Structures are given as structure tokens and as C-alpha cells.
Amino acid sequence: MTISYNGSLQKATFFLTGFQGLEALHGWISIPFCSIYLTVIVGNLTILHIIHTDVTLHEPMYYFLAMLALTDLGLCLSTLPTVLGIFWFDVREITIPACFTQLFFIHTLSLVESSVLLSMSIDRYVAICNPLRYSMVLTPARIIKMGLSSILRSALLILPLPFLLKRFQYCRSHVLAHAYCLHLEIMKLACSSITVNHIYGLFVVACTVGVDSLLIFLSYALILRTVLSIASRQERLQALNTCVSHICTVLLFYTPMIGLSLVHRFGEHLPRIVHLLMSYVYLLVPPLMNPIVYSMKTKQIRIRIAKKLEIVKSLKCFR
């Protein structure tokens, strides 16, 4: 598809891109993306429903899991309109205010997820290293404060980005390489110096994802030291087993993020399809896999999902 420009249009819009060169196949490509989005929505809503309706799951660990599910839902819904809009209706234009709004939510929710993963590691640390004080340390009021501080920290740090981008003149091509808006990509289209954006972007990553990952690593180092001091082998395995779901979730979040950073930094010679796939993996795989991981590895969640399915089957049989 050829995109024509005029002066007023360039000032008002960006153009999103699906899989360039495969526009004729966008209808077929949309099928796996629809399946992924549907699975993300159903999976995370199922986790939220089970935690909300089952009083026995009203504990700190499951409150943090509910926060993670809400964050994943938000991240999924922030990209869904533009991604499916391109694949289904070939809608490529996005106004600059809408683009900056989408950018704000994508980056904010990514940082919130990092904060929630840190909160979950703190939960595991207190449960294993100081179990007698678990209910006193992680009170409902403190959990709410942790959740609100995660949102506030992320939103305040990302809020300057749209304003930093707004000051630029975009005299180059307004065509973005993805089906959604990202800060790194938009700032490269600017005509003037982007040094401030580069420095501020690195600062945000360092004081959020960098600090969070370091504290998560530290918490697990302390957990491992405590577990190794337990005499019984069975008790050691039981303690470690409570961390498996969270460790998988941490790997699902940080591995694609590191991979995407390496591809952007050192992969300029790689085919464009690699950059596209890595960006989709980063944004879609964690929300897709997190409910699956917790459903399979957390006994309480698995049992309650099985019970819900049994109830549905019995109702169908009754009809």
C-alpha cells in the first residue's frame, strides 16, 4: 500500500505498520493474534473471577496475582485496537494525541508489571523467611499501598515522555515500524536532537526495571539461603515449590525484554521480521502465559478451575 502525505496530515498523524510486504495475508495473520488476545482476556478474567469469588484465596499471594492479571489485561487491551484495526480493516492512521496516549499506557503498564513482580517476590520472601509474621507484615492496607505506589511510580515516570515527544518537529517519515506506538521508535523520527529523551529513557529503565530486577534477585538469594538451612529435604522442596510460578513469571517478563533490547541495540543487520516478532513476544507472551503458568503450577488455582469446569459440565448435562 502506498501512503501519500500532505503538510497538514504529517503534522496530525502517524502511520502504523503490520507485517510489511504481507498485507495480502493480514486476514490470515489476524487469526493467531485474535486467538492470543482472546486467550489473554479469558485467562486473566478467569484468574480474577476465581480470586474474587473464593474467600479462601483472599490472601496476600493471591491479591498480588490479581494485580498481575489486571496489569496483563490492561497491557493487552492497550495494543488490541490498533493491532486488529490494521489486520482487519487496514486502518493505519493514528492521530498524534492518540498515539501518545497509547504509548503512555503501554510503557506505564510494563513498569507496573515489573513493580508487581517485585511485590510478589517480597511476598515469597516474607512467607519463607519470616512465616510467623507473614499476616502482620502483609496486611490488606499495606498491600493496597504497595499496589497504589506501583501505579503512581510508573505513571509519574512515564508522564514526561509524551511531553518530551510533543516538543519535536517530525519532518521525516511518519511511518512507524509496529502496529502500536513506542517511545523509542517515535523519537527516532524527530528532526532535532533526541539526547534528552535518550537520557531520560535510560534513567526510567534504570530506576524501575533495573532496581526491581536487582531486588528480586536479592530476595531470592535470601530465600535460597533460608531454604538451604532447612534440615528436611521434603520441606526444602515444598518451600521452593511455592516460588516456581513466580520464577516462571519473572523469566517470562524479563527474558523477552532483554531480548528485545539486544535486538534493538545490536540487531540492525537482522531481518525486519525479527524485530517485529520480538516486539510482539515482549508485549503478548507474558500476559498470555502468566495465567497458564499459575493455573498449572498453583494447586489452589488449579483445583478451583477444575471445580468451575465440573459445574459447567454438570449444568450442560442437566439441560
Name which of 37, 103, 100, 30 is nearest 72 in CA terms. 37
Mean pLDDT of the residues in the chain: 90
Q: Residue ranges per domain, the chain?
A: 13-317
Structure confidence by residue, pLDDT tens digits, 28-72: 999 999 999 999 999 999 999 999 999 999 999 999 999 999 999
Residue 272, pLDDT > 90, answer: no
Percentage of the chain beyond pLDDT 70 is 93
Cβ atoms within 10 Å of 281's Cβ, excluding its own: 17
Section 179-187 average pLDDT: 92
pLDDT tens figures, 196-205:
999 999 999 9
Q: What is the pLDDT of residues 288-319, one digit of tens each?
A: 999 999 998 888 898 888 887 776 666 566 55
Q: Which CATH architecture has domain 13-317?
A: Up-down Bundle (1.20)
> Hey, what's the cell of 261?
533490547
**123 pLDDT more than 50:** yes
Q: Cell 507484615, residue?
A: 137
> For residue 60, which amino acid is it?
P
pLDDT computed for residue 314 by the predictor = 66
What distance lies between CA 180 and its chain's CA centroid? 14
The pLDDT of residue 313 is 63
Residue 13, classed as helix, strand or coil, is strand
Q: What percent of the chain has pLDDT over 90?
A: 68
232 compared with 125, residue with greater pLDDT: 125
Assessment of whether the complete model's pTM goes beyond 0.85 = yes
pLDDT tier at 9, thresholds 50, 70, 90: very low
Residue 6 has pLDDT above 60, yes or no: no
CB-based burial of residue 158 (10 Å sphere; 0-12 exposed, 13-18 middle, 19+ buried)?
Answer: buried
